[in-house]
Amino acid sequence: MGTGSSKQTDGTSEETKDRTDDDDDQAGGQLYVSLKMENLKLTTHLVPHVYGSVPLVGSWDSSKALSMERESVSMWELSFVVPPNHETLDFKFLLKPKDSDTPCFVEEGPSRLLIGGALGEDARVALFKLDSGEVLEYQVFVKADRVSPFDLAASWRAYQDNFRPSAVRWMPDVSINSAPQTGGENGASAGLELDLEHYVVPAPSTSANSGQVYAANMTENPRSLISGSGGSSYSNKGMEVIVPDPSKVFQSSGMAESKSVGTFSPLHRQDSQRGLFVDRGVGSPRLVKSSSSNIFSSDLNLGTGTKNSMPAAAGAVAAAAVADQMLGLKEDRHLAIVLVGLPARGKTFTAAKLTRYLRWLGHDTKHFNVGKYRRLKHGANQAADFFRADNPEGMEARNEVAALAFEDMLSWMHEGGQVGIFDATNSNKRRRNMLMKLAEGKCKIIFLETICNDRNIIERNIRLKIQQSPDYAEEPDFEAGLEDFKNRLANYEKVYEPVGEGSYIKMIDKVSGHGGQIQVNNISGYLPGRIVFFLVNTHLTPRPILLTRHGESQDNVRGRIGGDTAISEKGEIYSKKLANFVRKRLKSERAASIWTSTLQRTILTASPIVGFPKIQWRALDEINAGVCDGMTYEEIKKNMPEEYESRKKDKLRYRYPRGESYLDVIQRLEPVIIELERQRAPVVVISHQAVLRALYAYFADRPLKEVPHIEMPLHTIIEIQMGVTGVVEKRYKLMD
């Protein structure tokens, strides 16, 4: 990636677009197979299963069939890794009642043959004849990929012959248990009731339950529309912003610039009068002189809540961000990620994930959804005709709310915001030119276009939209809402123009979770580079991530921090209960994996778990307490009172002498977050309190200042369900 015109990432210039395909050629890997069945008519009492030959099931006994997991309202899925010496599979689908094994209904016709990842015939529909004579029809989708070295390690077959150690993110401190563990669970006496719901406990009210809420409703509130100014202007912190007339924005002979009148806060003075703050997580703030500055200023105090344009990040993250700001143009110090794409292509969900990631890294980021503005300004029950390109009133209204939302974002950036995610269709050059004119001299724009060519995914997204969107909350007839939305979509498709101008990122068929492609053009700088890297590795395949602390350790009993002690007797009981839980919860997940730190209390907690590979990450080690390692907090208070008080004042940025801060922990956890985003199978993370606080804050989108105070109890499992509807949390408390 670099400045200037687009070029090939390998240095050639035969094409005008960079292409980054995250499906590397893994000819030497194993097959990762995904089987999916879809029935839009929804037969909820029958659960699809798969049975067949070795190694998928190993028996044509229907009672041993593998249950498929519900991926969405109408889709069921089963994924597994095929060992290299069994790449021919013979199988069939069957339906079982939800609460019993009988009667079951086997699909009509011959069994299916999968050879080396390819079906012996086209993926025909699965037909099931019920006792009543009714015939159910399911669409069948088969996807097979050669898995990468790290995915091999993360699958339960990873310890097969000739495994190569992972080199993911150049992290040599990731190790794999290459030999399967033998023996029984040795934990049956610990007991775990078959009904996992028995252990469910309420999650905190501020936890990650965004999947239960329409994603657009979680975005920034339209300040310009709720201030009582009629939507034409608003006053905020001493600054009045006049929103330009959208009709004038399109005039070819100039641009109606927005004007600012009144007084500005001190933070809006010329940048040449200020230094740049670098937060390295230690001691008092340090100031670095700007390349254009002759004056230093020391009045920045993070404790007062003063806004500034620098991220609250540590180490290399802050250093790279400072370099971007010192060396870049003035408008490059603020970044607008402008979404582009037809409806039902995953724009809002992608924007929400990116917002969460950037916030977690410490970049002040907000998500502005134009649909939210439109509903507040013009009502939620607009028919499809409102979105026609030949409807001048509708066009003017939509351009008006887009300009309002963009001006809100620019105003927020003036107050210190860094990255704005502008979420709308922005489906033609005229609209995008309007936004670029509004941004001139104020922020840098990168267009992020989401493209999906899979009609089945689009159909599912449309149905989800009808169920969740406030646009159809007052429409009692689902089919009528579906028809209206499809008409709206057709209106957009008639005038849609793909992005080809400016700096842009194109995500092509990434929403499916099976490969896809990223194209980039004219992308440079630290933060844009991190955004591209994140988008390359993210997808929306539903899967659970289980977070838990290790079982109680001997140092937990003594009240000492850090250390590398074994688990206590109570911790051993928890390890057995955890093994039973994982076995029952992930009984049909062949590719799940267990991640631990390199400290023995997590390794011992994971030891009773069998049937899944175990991966040790040094990045998952507990926060380094430095010279305080092994001490109690009372001992620190008595012997190091200044350190104790410093930590008490700012736990987020406080760094133990010769140790780490929470910001340091977040920085070293970024490779773990990227790998968790890449995984398509469940992951169980067994780690430590500070580390899990940081990981949980990412999924729950909690502010950085809250990270050190997040409750992370012992002997409790936090299940994070990631999927197309967002993030949903469930907690299981296995022991008091």
Residues forming the active site:
423, 452, 550, 622
Looking only at Cα atoms, what is the longest distance across the chain?
86
Residue pair 293/270 in contact by the 8 Å Cβ criterion: no
Residue pair 457/512 in contact by the 8 Å Cβ criterion: yes
CB atoms within 10 A of CB 650: 15
Q: What is the Cα–Cα distance from 209 to 202, expressed in whole angstroms?
A: 12
Q: What is the 3-state secondary structure (H, E, C) of 225-279?
A: HHCCCCCCEEEECCEEEECCCHHHHCCCCCCCCCCEECCCCHHHCCHHHCCEEEC
The secondary structure of the chain in percent helix, strand, coil, rounded to multiples of 5, reads 35, 20, 45
Q: Where do the H-state alpha helices sit in 19-59?
A: none
Angle of helix 662-678 versus helix 347-361 axis, rounded to 10: 150
Q: What is the Cα–Cα distance from 523 to 244, expressed in whole angstroms?
A: 29
| DSSP type of residue 435 | H
CB atoms within 10 A of CB 497: 14
Q: Which two tokens stand for residue 169?
A: 């993110």
Q: What is the Cα–Cα distance from 213 to 387, expressed in whole angstroms?
A: 25
Residue pair 229/254 in contact by the 8 Å Cβ criterion: no
Instruction: Spell out the long-range contacts of 709-715 with Cβ–Cβ below 8 A and sequence spacing 24 or more.
Output: 709/651, 711/204, 712/549, 713/549, 714/549, 714/551, 714/552, 714/556, 714/574, 715/549, 715/551, 715/552, 715/574, 715/577
Q: Which two tokens stand for residue 436?
A: 């670029």
CA distances from 410 to 47, 420, 582 (A): 50, 8, 48
Length of the chain: 736
Q: What is the Cα–Cα distance from 313 to 299, expressed in whole angstroms?
A: 19
| DSSP type of residue 566 | P
End-to-end alpha carbon distance in the chain: 52
Residue pair 449/518 in contact by the 8 Å Cβ criterion: no
Q: What is the 3-state secondary structure (H, E, C) of 673-719?
A: HHHHHHCCCCEEEEECHHHHHHHHHHHHCCCHHHHHHCCCCCCEEEE
CB atoms within 10 A of CB 635: 15
Angle at 135 between CA 132 and CA 137, to 5 degrees: 150
Peptide bond into 55 cis (omega under 30): yes
Query: 């037909």: which residue's tokens?
Result: 127
Q: Which two tokens stand for residue 239?
A: 């600054």
CB atoms within 10 A of CB 615: 23
Residue pair 337/504 in contact by the 8 Å Cβ criterion: no
Residue 255 CA, chain-centre distance (Å), reads 38
Amino acid at 239: M
